[in-house]
Structure 1
């Protein structure tokens, strides 16, 4: 049930919806519901959302918000991202409270993954 005045849904661009879907299915086990050729949605991933067809991508270098995943094993998640076709754009680094890395999915949209462990998992 949506909560009043809380974040509920996010929509992200993708220049190739089949490639984006294949990446998230392989890396994170997501499932999708298509709404025509230009939109697909996902749910039960911490925040529900969708991808819309666009020639642009979401990148912090262009001022876009960064969506960040949590992982209890950062190295395992990094390996899954790379195996699914993601590109590491900022290697794992430490920050107060943990470690994280940034990646792009095959269409260029940027995401990050963090862990609250400050040592290798």
Structure 2
């Protein structure tokens, strides 16, 4: 439990809003629908969202929900990697700190010939003579 959760006690109205906001099905709801589901006014919603302590509590609780869902997601990614999926293997290796994408671009400019060489890409710059 974070200090934010221990240090801030939401009102009853805020608790009802939190309950609805933390339900995954609310992610597609409008503010009006969230307020209706929480049996709260739009003003109560906006007042709560103006409080940094409430927003921090909502974010902390949201993070906890996501964190608890990660196990099955990670297991599914690892399983796909074991089945031979290159993209899933990259994700697993990146999570383990054993892989990161690196891009190196080499460029050469020959102003006299007005040709730019960038890797295997050749771009001919026009000189206005059509």
TM-score range, shorter chain: under 0.3
Q: Which has the higher helix share?
A: 2
Q: Which has the higher strand share?
A: 1
Structure showing greater Rg:
2
Which has the higher relative contact order, 1 or 2, with Cα contacts under 8 A spaced 6 or more apart?
Answer: 1
When normalised by structure 2's length, the TM-score is: 0.22
